[in-house]
Amino acid sequence: MKDQTEPLLRQIRWLTAAFILGLFLSGVTAIPLRQEVGQLLQLAGGAGSATNSTSTPLVAWLEQIHTALQDVAARQPFLFYGTDWLAFGHFMIAIVFIGAWRDPVRNCWLFDFGLIACALVIPYAFCFGALRGIPVWWRLVDCSFGVFGAIPLWWCRRLVGKLELLEAKK
């Protein structure tokens, strides 16, 4: 019988790498906020766009964010240091998941940790989003990070269970 652990290990590593990449990209996007929001605003047809049509809730929200970021940049640029640290946190968590990529059975607790973190994104977004006046529809966007992050982690956790069973039979 052919060794079935290799295909499982390969799947786990691909899914873990995708999760690590997602964390890394999330971190990277926390740094150039002003530029990103400006580009999003133009793509959505907001201020400065050639297609500046009637304002949608998304465009109105992006314009509000853009204005706030410009104001912060002009008056209190040190506040962006907080998003630099947010990015750093994403990078560090991504690095931790290299342990799960290297030895998923021994480090399966990382998948559990990640699933718990993804689940906690939802109440966190709703509680603090409400406290900060973030529209409900945008909080749902934030919650999607937890939902989409949980998918590869949940799948990895299932595959690790199968891998453990196969290794126990050896």
Mean pLDDT of 101-106: 97
Check if the beta carbon of residue 110 is closer than 8 Å to that of residue 96: yes
So what's the pLDDT on residue 111?
Answer: 98
Above 50 in pLDDT, residue 1? no
Predicted structure pTM score = 0.88
pLDDT single digits (tens) 42-65: 999 876 554 555 688 989 999 999
So what's the pLDDT on residue 49?
Answer: 53
Tell me the longest C-alpha to C-alpha distance in the chain: 68
Q: Which residue pairs from 86-92 have beta carbons closer than 8 angstroms and sit at least 24 positions apart in sequence?
A: 86/27, 86/30, 87/27, 87/28, 87/30, 87/31, 88/27, 89/27, 90/23, 90/24, 90/26, 90/27, 90/30, 91/23, 91/24, 91/27
